[in-house]
Structure 1
Amino acid sequence: MDVDRPDTQDKQSSPMRADARRNVDALLRAAATVFDRLGVEAPMRTIAAEAGVGVGTLYRHFPQRSDLVKAIMQREVDNCVVAAATLGGSEPPGAALAEWVQRLVDLASTKRGLGPALHSGDPAYQALPNYVLGQLTPALRGLLDAAAAVGEIRADVDARALLLAAMRLAAPASDGDVDEARRMVALLIDGLRFQASALAKAPPG
């Protein structure tokens, strides 16, 4: 099932010009940097200056602060989806799965500066969890199916359940403990591999 970006259908009704796309990309990179450094309530003019554009350009693309926060998260999620396809086509299935799940740590790390907004209860962010799960679950399912097909992991792993578990284990990255998050996520995937190996060696019956 397709999951639409929250509140973005109207804005995407016509193709964005190349210069506008460059401005948006610069603003999203700048906002992620500034929010991480100064917090999510950092002045918008600081973000515009970091991106090298005027404040008017910022507000033209992101009229509300919440629009900017949502766009940062959506971009990171979309990058994870692209990474799943790229890794699936270039790496052995087990390695692709392990490397992609580590991308969830990077996603959690992005939330470090955004946490106060995302957990504020603001209705503007209400659709984000469904967007995240709706996009990342199929991406993970494809990697799981490929790894299971060659015996790298057990074949009965539910993609949504694994995604939720991995995201919980990656959560320390949102507080700055990236190394701990990477260790925990790696252990999760190693567990799936160990179980697959044990099942393969088990005597029939």
Structure 2
Amino acid sequence: MNEQGPGRPVRAHARRNREKLVAAALEEFTRTGKDVPLDSIAKAAGVGIGTLYRHFPTRDSLVLAAYEHEVDQVCADAADLLATLPPDRALREFMGRLAGLLVTKQHMSEALRSGGTQGSYAKVYDTVDTLFTAGVAAGTLRSDMETADVVRAMGGLLRLDAAGDWRGQAGRQIRLLMDGLQTGTPARAEGHEPER
């Protein structure tokens, strides 16, 4: 009996195959776009097409898994940012990395809009909350704002023009947001200017 129903542990071999498929999908989606043939992804992962469909019954489920993997990585990296940078700079860097992810994955947006990204949204929200709360505690970010305000203001990162100067757009938008979050903070009152 090797069926994997709800509540049954995923065997190590099946887990490795899933991880290989997600890694191959990320590479192919980034290089070619979301319409890459699924058999190409299976081949790149070193598995058969049947294995791909056992893990991901639809193209959209594979797109979503690849996107969630990337969000997980960006959010996990935020802990390292907070350990090595002041909280306000860690938040700024996190937003820049998130902008890069959103731009490079814009071609996946149709599949992502079809649903299932609530888990990723919650991870981003929790990460922003951790960074923002640390900044408030350090006196480098305003205490009269809430995490939800910051996340809503970050929504503009979803509208960056991937075909244009998206890095410049993201940089200006992040500076604008960070300037607003740092106005009136104790650090600003002491004459510490934010990083540009």
Partner of 1:37: 31
In the TM superposition, residue 11 of structure 1 has moved relative to its aligned partner by: 6.3
In the TM superposition, residue 174 of structure 1 has moved relative to its aligned partner by: 5.0
Q: Could you tell me which of 129, 132, 147 is aligned with 2:120? A: 132
Q: Counterpart amino acid of 2:79? A: A
Q: 1:167 to 1:136 in 2, by over 3 A?
A: same
The 1-side partners of 2:46 and 2:166 are apart by 30
The answer to whether the Cα contact below 8 Å between 2:24 and 2:41 also exists between their aligned partners in 1 is yes
The 1-side partners of 2:27 and 2:11 are apart by 24
Q: Is 1:168 paired with 2:156?
A: yes
Partner of 1:97: 91
In the TM superposition, residue 150 of structure 1 has moved relative to its aligned partner by: 1.2
Partner of 2:143: 155
Q: CA RMSD in A?
A: 2.8
The answer to whether the Cα contact below 8 Å between 1:170 and 1:184 also exists between their aligned partners in 2 is no
User: More displaced, 110-119 or 141-150?
Assistant: 110-119
The answer to whether the Cα contact below 8 Å between 2:102 and 2:157 also exists between their aligned partners in 1 is no
The 2-side partners of 1:152 and 1:12 are apart by 45
Q: 1:106 to 1:14 in 2, by over 3 A?
A: farther
The answer to whether the Cα contact below 8 Å between 2:82 and 2:131 also exists between their aligned partners in 1 is yes
Q: 1:101 to 1:11 in 2, by over 3 A?
A: farther
The 2-side partners of 1:14 and 1:101 are apart by 37
Partner of 2:74: 80
In the TM superposition, residue 194 of structure 1 has moved relative to its aligned partner by: 4.2
In the TM superposition, residue 60 of structure 1 has moved relative to its aligned partner by: 1.6
Q: Counterpart amino acid of 2:181? A: L
Q: Is 1:51 paired with 2:45?
A: yes
In the TM superposition, residue 33 of structure 1 has moved relative to its aligned partner by: 2.5
Q: Counterpart amino acid of 1:105? A: A
Query: What are the equivalent positions in structure 2 for 1:110-129 lying under 5 Å apart?
Result: 110-119=104-113, 125-128=114-117
The 1-side partners of 2:16 and 2:173 are apart by 34
Q: Counterpart amino acid of 1:186? A: I
Q: Is 1:183 paired with 2:171?
A: yes
The 1-side partners of 2:188 and 2:14 are apart by 53
Stretches of structure 1 lacking an aligned partner (at least 5 in a row): 1-9, 120-124
SS of the counterpart of 1:107?
helix
Q: 1:106 to 1:29 in 2, by over 3 A?
A: farther
Runs of 4+ in 1 over 6 A off after TM superposition: none
Deviations 1:144-199 (A, max 9, x none): 11111111111122212212322323531655744134313431224423442686
SS of the counterpart of 2:139?
coil
Higher RCO (C-alpha 8 Å, min separation 6): 1
Aligned identity (percent) is: 35
Task: Give the TM-score of the pair, scaled to structure 2.
Answer: 0.78
Q: 1:35 to 1:70 in 2, by over 3 A?
A: same
